[in-house]
Chains A and B, each alone.
Chain A
Amino acid sequence: MIGTIRDRLNDLPTRQRWALAGVVLLGLLAVPQVSTNFFVMNVFIYAFIFIGLGQSWNVIGGYAGQFSLGHAVMFAVGGYTTAILFIRHGVTPYVGIFAGGFVAAAVGLFLGAATFRLRYHYFAMATLAAALIGKTVGFRWEYINGASGIEYPFAQLGTPWSMMFRDKLPYFYLIGVMALATTLVIYRMDRSKLGMYLRSIDMDQGLARNSGLNVFNYKMYAMGVSSYIAGVFGGLYAQYVLYIDPMSTLRVLRNIDIIIVPIIGGVGTVLGPVVGAFIFIPIREYTRTGLSGGYTGLGWVVVGVVIVLISIYRPGGVLNQYFGRWD
């Protein structure tokens, strides 16, 4: 069924496709008109954050085929940078989130420079080790308050440049616009030469190199873009939760969280992370609250089953056309 829908969509003329995208977008804009329920808003805002994170991972993991297991590090770096710049140095988060993006990109490039020699499982493990180093440091480093994390000063709530809002609606629009902008950037990349280069690295790195492509440089380029996006959304996350600590940003599960979005939606596709986020986040949030108390964790079991089934029957996610040919 999904395959048919996908093929139909692919057959649509460009103009109708944009019209369809516009309709979906207007529908999203209208959500707060229908319900400003705390919980519904929360689900959408988290979905927007995870669209951003999914797109971020997709650049390096999906397009370039480098299976990073350490993206939570860049996410956390962005978040901490934004929070520390604002709370300790009075830099507005409207600047801070982008500064966080740059710091995250620097960390990502460092990580990339160290690990891009490796491929496949080896790269995945090296980035996982980096994630664990990040976690250990995050819990112990006193400059960022170690395990207790950094709290935002509530006295600043609602002041114009603090990006701290009293209700969820501004967050909905702010983070929604950022997720949309990110998706558009990825759309541009998907159609550009860069997208083609990255795909060719994914398909056959040796062949790409022999065709004269500087594989390392393009991987670094992808890692920089990817880490920058992860950092920006880390900043947005910190601004939304108004608290940042290593448990919520650096635990091992956060790395997996980020990857699940494109896995479910579609690895190496523009809309994959969007679809994935809107499948994954509602499952996660509703099972977390609906199955709380004695049933904690069952939601994750459901997600696990979904991932196993998708890996077997739809490797590469529901929207993936390249892997789709395998079935």
Chain B
Amino acid sequence: MKKLWSVFLSTFMLLLMTTPIAFAATEEAPKLDSGDTAWVLVSAALVFIMTPGLGFFYGGMVRSKNVLTTIMHSFFIVGLISVEWIILGYTMAFGDDATGVIPGIIGSLDKIGLAGTAGQIWTGTSIPELAFIIFQCMFAVITPALITGAFAERVKFKAYALFMLLWAIFIYNPMAHMVWGGGKLFELGALDFAGGLVIHILSGVSGLTLCILIGKRRGYGKLPILPHHLPMTVLGAALLWFGWFGFNAGSALGANELAASAFVATQAAAAMATISWVVCEWIQNGKPTILGAASGCIAGLVAITPAAGFVAPMPAVIIGLIAGIVCYFAVAVLKAKLGYDDSLDAFGVHGIGGTWGAIATGLWATTAVNPAGANGLFYGDGNLLTAQIISIIVAYLLGSIGTFILYKIVNAITPFRADEAEEVSGIDIVEHGERAYSQSIMTGESLGIQSDLTKID
């Protein structure tokens, strides 16, 4: 800690000394734009609501005895990771690369505690660095929350909290630096507009690894383990869809043509995937379901995330179409065949959808939409696709190996898996001492009108 402070202090001094010179040297100083800043701040708030929304999305799909712990897994992360991000996460992910802790992988720790970020303009944009920080904070928050769907209904809270903190520090922050912060994959030319690699593949693969390590829920495949409140799931999906406009269109970091283009692509893919998932299950099982529609829109949103700022509207529709089909078969067929218990399909939707989206970016990206991007295979350049595939492999390796190591460490400190009695009673009452749905006799529900209660025979 002492060393960190000295690093922080010395760099802070350095900043004070060099800043005026830097400004003097620049011919055209970057200017703040109020419209851009407003849009990014609003987008940050939109992305924020996705994490509690995810809690509802997941919460409706578990059994009633585990709904609170499932929502808590998302909600508590908002607190835990926001603080982590302000203290350490931001500087690890977006600190200077050349002077980084591990150049190419972890940025420099200059900006620990957000030191030196006030009054700065974020490079290449017209928004304050603080707006960028809080926007990125919401991304750092939702990513570990996505993982919780994989191990729902069977983990202890203490192990969960410890794992998520370590995961954010040792897996998310380096990956964010590698892709967005000027690190290795950034140099390779991989495109990830709003986080297909960093967020969805990483969390999906980490979720898959964890659910295999932790094991299946007791009674999985024998007892009917059914969603207890689908309207809650649909409400959560609606909040996710709503927030995703900030996630994708906000990633333009300005109120401009690119933001509008990403907004359109987002809606196009989500809408098409809603239809394609429902049609798949309709054909296979004979009924269109609301759970299918809610799952389909999320699959489409996941897939368009890396591509949103690089593809035209019609390719976005195709990306959504395929996302709905691929993710449906991943959760309905592949999961059943392989027999792992990814409770709420964190891998099936985010891992598979994110992989498809990263590949699709390599196919349909075009500089006509975003001059800062690149042309994909269908626009005559195969290099991007290669870069995308290498990035996907890195994300799979980092997600699975990193999660494996962190799981072993956490499990050695405190047991990850809930014991049998806990699982049978439900995690809510044992871990949190609360129940979601009161029972009338116990909580004094009205027992009827006065005359019914006191009537004499």
Q: Tell me whether A and B are bound partners.
A: no
Binding site for A on B (CB under 8 A): none
Binding site for B on A (CB under 8 A): none
